[in-house]
Structure 1
Amino acid sequence: MRVFVGGIDEAGRGPVIGPMVMAIAVIDDMDKLKNVGVRDSKELSPQGRSRLLNVLRSILTYMDYEVIEPETIDRYVYLNALNKLEAEVAVKLIGRALRIVNLVRVYIDSPDPNAKRYGDLIRRSVGSVEVISMNKADKLIPIVSAASIIAKVTRDSIIEELHREYGDFGSGYPSDPRTIGFLRNWVREHGDLPPIVRRSWSTIRRLTGGGLDAFL
């Protein structure tokens, strides 16, 4: 019986605009990933990520992702529970994978500096699946690198769609002046923030310290 190993990673935890995407990748032999040059998505160009995603589609046993919208992110951030949200989505991804493959071990890139604490949030809900939670797993474990590529390419395509719908808001990260300029201009024109914004982010709280009038 073949034994399958999974990896889980996210893309888009930090931006103030757009969703976060979490992905799972599953394979029976991680050497296949090393042979095609899979590595952390942040170390690849957009073209490199797209090329590798096409390769991954042909060699992975299973792949899946979940899109987490700003409204959901906000709800958990207000409860100081963003890591709990990621853990719940990881459990959901593992559960869906188990319906398809004999998944015995999953490596997860931990958003918590205490990787064991984060892993414990997941272990209690996935039965006999071995959960290995690690910091920097996206750099160290090829199957997590594969998941990071899936998550990043998926999120990038969503962001491209949002640019077409809402205009150029830059990268969506708080450090991007284009993003801040977009938010200011949007509120001036519409009187409110667009629905693609994470209202719980400190960037928004700073910009709206006096209410939305602070944008005007």
Structure 2
Amino acid sequence: MQFPDLSIETALAQQCGGTLIAGMDEVGRGALAGPVAVGVAAVDTAVAQPLEGLRDSKKLTVLQRERMAIAIPDWAATAVGLASADEIDTYGLSAALGLAGRRAWHQLVSTIGMPQGLVLDGNTMWLNAAPHDLVRALEPVDTRVMLQTKADVTCCTVSAAAITAKVARDALMIELAERFPDYGWASNKGYGSVAHRSALNTLGVTDYHRKSWNLVPEEIQPKLL
């Protein structure tokens, strides 16, 4: 198993001439219900050491992720931004991911100041897809950005960001499951399990479903304005 470290963050710090480096990742992209969530975590690479237990969040059990989510704030500054199902329907998935990322970035910068570098998971600058009218009041991404595929596997800050976002989003879906128990969100977290799809076919969508994705039969598909 590959363990993330701080080598990419340290290299970015050397390039940009500052030691405060952040990592960012998204979760919830493929869910049928609930928001997309973007996590960001920042450390001072001059003094930080890799946090024991960090892994690709998908390789951790629920309990391991929850334990790491408790430990991470003592190691890094963190923030999570959300974009709702309604925003996904209105602006599209890519724009919603960018919006959630900009909201997370705004929270982080408002707390600790502007990091000198950002490791962004993936191979596209998806932060730039955020709707301009919704991000005017948010802190700009005024820093050097490094795109890194599979960064949650190799970079400690991105791994920490992904775990933080995953645990926060899962907790929200469990809370929503108490109001909408028939969809199984406590276990499937809004993803397309058999039970979830079956409930959609019989009960239709809720306000937390991504209605533009045509999730239900045409006769009960809501008309989007």
Same fold (TM over 0.5): yes
Give the secondary-structure state (helix, strand or coil) at the position aligned to 1:18. Answer: coil
In structure 2, C-alpha distance between the alignment counterparts of 1:30 and 1:158, rounded to whole Å: 35
Question: Secondary structure in 2 aligned to 1:200?
Answer: helix
Q: Note the C-alpha offset of 1:130.
A: 0.8
Structure 2 unaligned residues grouped into runs of 5+: 1-16, 131-139
When the two chains are superposed, the root-mean-square deviation of aligned CA atoms in Å is 2.6
- The Cα of 1:120 is off from its aligned counterpart by 6.5
Q: Which runs of 5+ in 1 are unaligned?
A: 188-192
Match of 1:65 in 2: 80
- The DSSP-based 3-state class of the residue aligned with 2:120 is strand
| 2:212 match | 200
Distance of aligned partners of 1:38 and 1:177 in 2 relative to their CA distance in 1, 3 Å threshold: same
What residue number does 1:183 align with? 200
> In structure 1, which of residues 134, 158, 163 is the aligned counterpart of residue 148 of structure 2?
134
Alignment of 1:3-14 (within 5 A): 3-14=19-30
TM-score, reference length from structure 1: 0.78
In structure 2, the partner of 1:169 is: 183
Cross-structure match for 2:96: 85
Name the SS for the 2:179 alignment partner: helix
Cα distance between partner residues in 1 of 2:47 and 2:30 = 31
More deviation, 33-42/23-32: 23-32
Secondary structure of 1:195 counterpart: coil
Aligned partner of 1:190 in structure 2 is none
Runs of 4+ with deviation above 4 angstroms: 30-33, 119-122
Following superposition, the deviation at residue 126 of structure 1 comes to 2.1
Q: d(CA) in 1 for partners of 2:71 and 2:113?
A: 20
Percent identity (aligned)? 26
| Aligned mate of 2:42, from 26, 29, 50 | 26
Match of 1:94 in 2: 105
Q: Report the equivalent of 1:159.
A: 173
Counterpart in 1 of 2:135?
A: none
When the two structures are aligned, how many residues end up with a matched partner? 192
Deviations 1:118-164 (A, max 9, x none): 47669xx522x111122211112110000000000001101111111
Shift in alpha-carbon separation, 1:138–1:27, aligned structure 2, 3 A: same
Alignment partner of 1:40 is 2:56: yes
Give the 3 Å change call, closer, same or farther, for CA 47–154 of structure 1 in structure 2. Answer: same
SS in 1 for 2:104: helix
Structure 1 distance, partners of 2:179, 2:44, is 40
Residue 143 of structure 1 corresponds to 157
| CA shift digits 1:174-209 (9 cap, x unpaired) | 3x110011112323xxxxx2111111225x1xx323
Question: Partner of 1:49 in structure 2?
Answer: 65
Going from structure 1 to structure 2, the CA distance change for 1:104 and 1:117 (only over 3 Å counts) comes to closer
TM superposition shift of 1:95 = 3.5
